[in-house]
Every structure is written in structure tokens, then in C-alpha cells.
Structure 1
Amino acid sequence: MEDLKSIIRYQTQEYGRIVVKLDKVLDERKISRNKLKTLTGVKYDVITRYYRGEQIELVDLNFLAKVCYALDCRIEDLLEYQKPE
């Protein structure tokens, strides 16, 4: 248990971040955000936020499950943890 780290006193840049890679997945598969909207029933503005990786404080697991199902991909294809530099 000694290798566990507390994040209580750390700033974001000290513990890393989660990167949303929806843009890469859609671009590689040549699928538009509008097509993903049709496939998932999720509002276009929500898809755009994830596509741009902007204004995401909490992830919506239901949204991610719908995307994984519609695109037949894994959660690892959509999210990536980046360690601090």
C-alpha cells in the first residue's frame, strides 16, 4: 500500500489527465458527428463537446457505452490516461 499516492494536495498537471479521443476515432472511420448523432440518439452539442474534448468535467458513462456500441469500439479507443510530464 505504500506505493499509493494521495492527490489531495496536487494540482492537475501533477497527476496527469484523461484525453478524449473521439475525434480520432471518428476521423479514422470517416464518420461525421451528425452520423454519430443518428446512430446514438445523443444531442449534437454533446457529441461536439466530446469530439473537441472541451467542457468535460464529468464523463457520461451512458454516452460512452452508446458510442462504443455504435462504433463497435472499446473504451480504450475513446479515453486515454496521460501521466504528468
Structure 2
Amino acid sequence: MEHVYDTVIEEKDYGRVLLNVKEIMDKKGINRNMLARLAGIRFEVANRLYTGNVYRLDLDVLARVLHVLQCSVEDIIQYEPANK
């Protein structure tokens, strides 16, 4: 028996989450190597945070970065609502 599935993929715009790590690091004179060393994270992770090329964020890593940069979650993460 043949099944026909009528599938429609609906793409929704939920907005986006932006990271301001680069701006804070630049203000404080902290480069990616320093962040990696001080936070105990790999350079690749520090680089992704710096460039904003992050798809998942480990809360332990976030806590380490916040500690090193001496800032709060609100300073690092910004939510930009979808355009309606």
C-alpha cells in the first residue's frame, strides 16, 4: 500500500539571539587567546563566541566567560524579536 504524505514545511521567524562578546572583550582589552586561557575553554570556543558563530551555548562556558569578563548575562546576550 502506497502512502502519500502531504508535507509542508512552514518556516517561522522567531527572532534571533545576538552575542555581544566581541564588544565587551574589545573594551576590556581581552583577546581570544586570553579568554580561552582565563576561562579554561578551547580557543575554538572562544573564537566562536567572539565572532558570534554559536548555535549552542553551554551554561558552564557562559558562566566562565561572564566571570572572566566581569559582566552579566544581559551584557552578553541580546534577543532581537522577529519583524512582524
2:35 counterpart letter in structure 1: L
Write the distance in 1 (CA, Å) between the matches of 2:66 and 2:36: 13
Q: Percent identity?
A: 32
- How many pairs were matched up? 74
1:75 counterpart letter in structure 2: V
2:78 counterpart letter in structure 1: E
Write the distance in 1 (CA, Å) between the matches of 2:32 and 2:69: 12
| 1:57-81 Cα shifts (integer Å, max 9, x gaps) | 2211111100111121101111100
Root mean square deviation, CA, Å: 1.3
Write the distance in 2 (CA, Å) between the matches of 1:50 and 1:35: 13
In the alignment, structure 2 segments of 5+ residues that lack a partner are 1-9
Write the distance in 2 (CA, Å) between the matches of 1:72 and 1:57: 23
In the alignment, structure 1 segments of 5+ residues that lack a partner are 1-8
Q: Which has the higher helix share?
A: 1
TM, length-normalised to structure 2:
0.80
